[in-house]
């Protein structure tokens, strides 16, 4: 069989440019389709800026919207959004791989490199197997999620609409997209506020979000080893940090929102626990809301912004800095405070290069976050906390909003589009750069000491 050779090299596209270009093309094609009169319920073309914003939000699996998805877009438009969500969640590279596998063509080394990069894997070993299992697992889990949701949505909306709504929300939740079709049921931009007392819907959506945000590499490791003792250090860290973030976010939400009349206050105790847990899970870049985000206390809003920036795990449908990246930084901090230079976990040393990678990525995201929040606050005159929440949601590809998104000016809309793109494609480009860079230079310069602190 003839190997598939991608245009990589000095005269072709390197992996970073290929991923960035691929996502850009999908966004532009999606915007063009959404601009068609058939894509809107009113039968008139939607403005290019709204189309571009929606296509970028769907492709970057964010979920921020300037028009209510079900009230503005026709079934055709909703179908385009669903396709963009699936492509954005899996990555266009996975789609190309699916075609290659279907045609039974051998996948070349250059394509394996891009596949590993797009899934944020540290090497190309077994990447084709990981992608194959990821594709199979994705469709299976989305199907099971749709089946569970249909038990609640078909009685509410009828057979045809119930099946469509179940499929749409299952894909959106697994891909951590955050788009919803509940506008005509519970009001515009209401997300899942109408299901605060429905454990079937909320638990199903939570399950899809967590599984989608864990990462394809973790799936593969669990399938192969099926024992906590035999799992890789990365998988153990990803699962442990994910659990700590979910439980910690839930407890903090209960602490700050228990008596808040705008959020948990009016609920029964079991509903408070359920919705606090949902709030913590959805902050992992999912974007669904069962609580009014504008009604959160300032303490919870700040924690939510931090959780959104952290995001999910590497090689998943989620965005953000990533769980293990934060874990490595915290471990490095602990070792540094003890006067040690090496980061050691369970008898294994994490390379200094990985620590620097984590520091570079985190500092870059924090700098972008601060600059974006100040710019958004200045352009539209938003309170800094509201602007920070919006920017963290865009950069972490989350999709939660305090209600500012539909009223953004043209300049702020362009800024949020850019941040959604950077949050999805920019962070992927960082991981590709870390993966494909050459070895350290052999040239050494004299050392010089500087004062710190």
Domain count, the chain: 1
| pLDDT reported for residue 158 | 94
Confidence of residue 125 (pLDDT cuts 50, 70, 90): low
Query: pTM for the full model?
Result: 0.87
| H helix runs in 104-126, sequence order | 109-118
Residue 338 pLDDT greater than 90, yes or no:
no
300, 307, 308: which is closest to 262 by C-alpha? 300
Over residues 277-293, mean pLDDT: 93
CB 87 within 8 A of CB 29: no
| pLDDT reported for residue 6 | 42
| pLDDT reported for residue 2 | 43
Residue 90 pLDDT greater than 70, yes or no:
yes
Angle, helix 298-310 to helix 384-395, in steps of 10 degrees: 20
Show Cβ contacts of residue 155 under 8 Å, excluding neighbours closer than 6 positions: 162
Residue 159: CB atoms within 10 Å: 10
Domain contains 444? no
| pLDDT reported for residue 316 | 72
Over residues 127-131, mean pLDDT: 66
Residue 46: CB atoms within 10 Å: 21
260, 300, 261, 259: which is closest to 279 by C-alpha? 300
CA-to-CA distance for 86 and 61, rounded, in angstroms? Answer: 8
Domain with 299 in it? 15-434
Residues 294-332 have pLDDT tens digits of: 999 999 999 999 999 998 887 677 778 888 889 999 999
Residue 339 pLDDT greater than 70, yes or no:
yes
Residue 111 pLDDT greater than 80, yes or no:
no
| pLDDT reported for residue 124 | 53
Confidence of residue 135 (pLDDT cuts 50, 70, 90): confident
Mean pLDDT, the chain, as a whole number?
85
Secondary structure class of 263 (helix, strand, coil): coil
Residue 336 pLDDT greater than 50, yes or no:
yes
Residue 110 pLDDT greater than 60, yes or no:
no
Please name the residue that has the structure tokens 């993966």.
435
Show Cβ contacts of residue 418 under 8 Å, excluding neighbours closer than 6 positions: none
Q: What is the CA radius of gyration of the chain?
A: 22
- Paired with 343 in beta bridges are 350
Q: Could you give phi then psi for residue 158, rounded to 5 degrees?
A: 90, 170
| pLDDT reported for residue 285 | 83
Domain contains 442? no
Of the two residues 163 and 217, the one the predictor is more confident about is: 163
Domain contains 177? yes
Q: What are the distances in angstroms from CA 42 to CA 73, 76, 77, 182, 358?
A: 8, 12, 12, 18, 48
């Amino acid at each position: 069989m003839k190997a598939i050779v991608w245009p990589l090299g000095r005269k072709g596209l390197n992996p970073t440019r290929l991923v960035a270009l691929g996502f850009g093309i999908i966004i532009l094609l999606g915007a063009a389709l959404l601009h068609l009169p058939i894509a809107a319920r009113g039968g008139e073309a939607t403005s290019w800026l709204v189309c571009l914003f929606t296509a970028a939000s769907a492709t970057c699996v964010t979920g921020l919207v300037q028009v209510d998805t079900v009230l503005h877009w026709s079934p055709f438009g909703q179908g385009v959004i669903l396709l963009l969500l699936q492509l954005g969640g899996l990555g266009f590279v996975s789609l190309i791989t699916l075609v290659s596998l279907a045609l039974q063509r051998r996948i070349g080394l250059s394509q394996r490199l891009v596949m590993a990069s797009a899934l944020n894997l540290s090497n190309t070993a077994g990447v084709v197997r990981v992608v194959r299992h990821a594709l199979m697992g994705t469709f299976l889990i989305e199907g099971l999620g749709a089946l569970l949701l249909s038990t609640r949505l078909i009685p509410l909306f009828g057979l045809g609409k119930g099946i469509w709504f179940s499929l749409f929300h299952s894909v959106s939740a697994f891909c951590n997209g955050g788009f919803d079709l509940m506008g005509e049921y519970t009001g515009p931009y209401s997300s899942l506020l109408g299901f605060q007392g429905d454990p079937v819907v909320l638990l199903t959506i939570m399950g899809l979000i967590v599984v989608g945000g864990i990462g394809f590499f973790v799936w593969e490791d669990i399938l192969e080893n099926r024992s906590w003792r035999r799992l890789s250090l990365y998988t153990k860290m990803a699962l442990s940090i994910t659990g700590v973030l979910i439980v910690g976010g839930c407890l903090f939400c209960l602490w700050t929102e228990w008596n808040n009349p705008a959020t948990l206050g009016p609920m029964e105790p079991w509903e408070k626990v359920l919705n606090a847990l949902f709030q913590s899970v959805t902050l992992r870049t999912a974007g669904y809301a069962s609580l009014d985000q504008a009604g959160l206390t300032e303490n919870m809003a700040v924690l939510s912004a931090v959780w959104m920036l952290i995001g999910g795990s590497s090689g998943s449908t989620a965005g953000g800095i990533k769980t293990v990246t934060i874990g490595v930084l915290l471990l490095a901090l602990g070792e540094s405070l003890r006067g040690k230079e090496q980061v050691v976990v369970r008898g294994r040393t994490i390379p200094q290069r990985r620590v620097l990678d984590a520091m570079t990525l985190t500092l870059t995201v924090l700098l972008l976050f601060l600059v974006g929040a100040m710019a958004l606050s200045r352009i539209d005159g938003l309170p800094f906390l509201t602007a920070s929440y919006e920017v963290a949601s865009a950069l972490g590809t989350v999709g939660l909003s305090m209600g500012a998104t539909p009223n953004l000016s043209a300049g702020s809309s362009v800024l949020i589009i850019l941040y959604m793109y950077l949050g999805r494609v920019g962070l992927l480009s960082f991981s590709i750069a870390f993966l494909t860079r050459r070895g350290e230079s052999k040239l050494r310069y004299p050392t010089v000491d500087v004062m710190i602190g």
